[in-house]
Amino acid sequence: MLAYIIRRVAQSILVLLVVGLVAFSMFRFVGDPIDNMLGQERTQADIDRLRTELGLDQPFPVQYFKFLGGAAQGNFGVSYRQGRPVSTIIAERAPATLELAAVSGFLAISIGIALGVFTAIRRDGWVSNVIMTVSLLGVSLPTFLIGILLIYLFSVELDLLPSFGRGEVVDLGWWTTGLLTSSGLKALILPSITLGLYQMTLIMRLVRSEMLEVLRQDYIRFARARGLKERTVNFRHALKNTLVPVITVTGLQLGAIIAFAIITETVFQWPGVGLLFINAIQFVDIPVMAAYLMLISVMFVGINLIVDLLYFWVDPRLRADRGGAH
């Protein structure tokens, strides 16, 4: 088990190195940051001086290793646009994104699993059919459109919820949270629905199809034949077996929620790292972009690792070290 974790962590580090390399080499095609940083009145001497100062005159491998060396110590350099350390900027912005992603993920998983189980058990009911039909909308509508529709309905027409921003936040020193104020909670509703709706419908449809498959299994028939209560059969026996394959997809979806927060954050002008990244691209702010991409890949890799460990927890067949007789 420990050996497995160590192996997985080593693999993860390799993945991060590759992601860093790919991201870093792509920045060369985004544009020249110097163009944005110096005004129209620049001279060739200014350009050369700044280029040397930023280390952009050095060959690509040297730049890459310098970046890695810094990143390993948590130092991602200084933002070209804001002139402040990137790690500080991201630390300021991360709580907004993580809170949004956590609330969306929670909504997606809890409602998705609940509706999936419901539509599987009541397979032929009209409520299930309505839910399944509506869920097609969630799967097929693009995120930005859902966001704009929600803004139109709840902010413009009904004037119930704010259309942009995070509302009032409470500063805890190391973390700013919108969960403690009513305006912060209100501001969270629309973006989290927008961000989580696709994942919710996806999880729901997945849980439903997996559960229908599990309910056909012999051990479910046998559980019924042993006279167990329908609730026990559905939740103790069927749901647990349903969750094994669902965990993988759900894990990847959580990563996707954080990554795709960019679109939702843009629509709702949510002050998170996604919006920061969009702005950084426009300005060719390479340190910010690099740090963001590394952050996202760390999260993806971390979630995948957690997912793999969850398998061990759920499925006893994978715990080889229990040493069963065969």
The helix/strand/coil state of 236 is helix
Q: CB–CB of 274/90 below 8 Å?
A: no
- Report the distance separating Cα 319 and Cα 168, nearest Å: 47
Asked if 324 touches another protein (CB under 8 A), the answer is yes
Among 41, 159, 171, 218, binds another protein (CB under 8 A): 218
x/- mask, another protein, residues 173-192, rule CB under 8 A, reads --------------------
Q: CB–CB of 294/19 below 8 Å?
A: yes
Question: What minimum distance in Å lies between the beta carbon of 236 and another protein?
Answer: 7
Stretch 91-110 residues interacting with another protein (CB under 8 A): none
Interface segment toward another protein; rule CB under 8 A; list 14-22, 69-77, 185-193, 234-242? 234-242
x/- mask, another protein, residues 239-268, rule CB under 8 A, reads -xx--x------------------------
Stretch 301-320 residues interacting with another protein (CB under 8 A): 314-317
Q: What number of chain residues touch another protein (CB under 8 A)?
A: 27
Question: What minimum distance in Å lies between the beta carbon of 66 and another protein?
Answer: 50
Q: CB–CB of 107/155 below 8 Å?
A: no
Asked if 224 touches another protein (CB under 8 A), the answer is yes
156 vs 325 by CB, closer to another protein = 325
Asked if 122 touches another protein (CB under 8 A), the answer is no
Among 185, 228, 259, 305, binds another protein (CB under 8 A): 228
Q: Which helix (H) or strand (E) holds 46?
A: helix 44-54
Question: What minimum distance in Å lies between the beta carbon of 248 and another protein?
Answer: 16
Cβ count near 326 (within 10 Å): 2
Among 110, 217, 269, 282, binds another protein (CB under 8 A): 217
- Report the distance separating Cα 117 and Cα 207, nearest Å: 7
Q: How far, CA to CA in Å, does 85 sit from each of 170, 247, 291?
A: 23, 37, 11
Q: CB–CB of 250/145 below 8 Å?
A: no
Apex CA 179: angle with CA 178 and CA 183, to 5°?
A: 60
Asked if 66 touches another protein (CB under 8 A), the answer is no
Interface segment toward another protein; rule CB under 8 A; list 102-110, 179-187, 221-229, 292-300? 221-229
Asked if 221 touches another protein (CB under 8 A), the answer is yes
Closest CA to 303 of 247, 243, 252, 244: 252
For the CA atoms of 185, 189, 194, 198, the dihedral, rounded to the nearest 10 degrees, stands at 100
Residues at the interface with another protein (CB under 8 A): 217-219, 221-230, 232, 236-237, 240-241, 244, 314-317, 322, 324-326
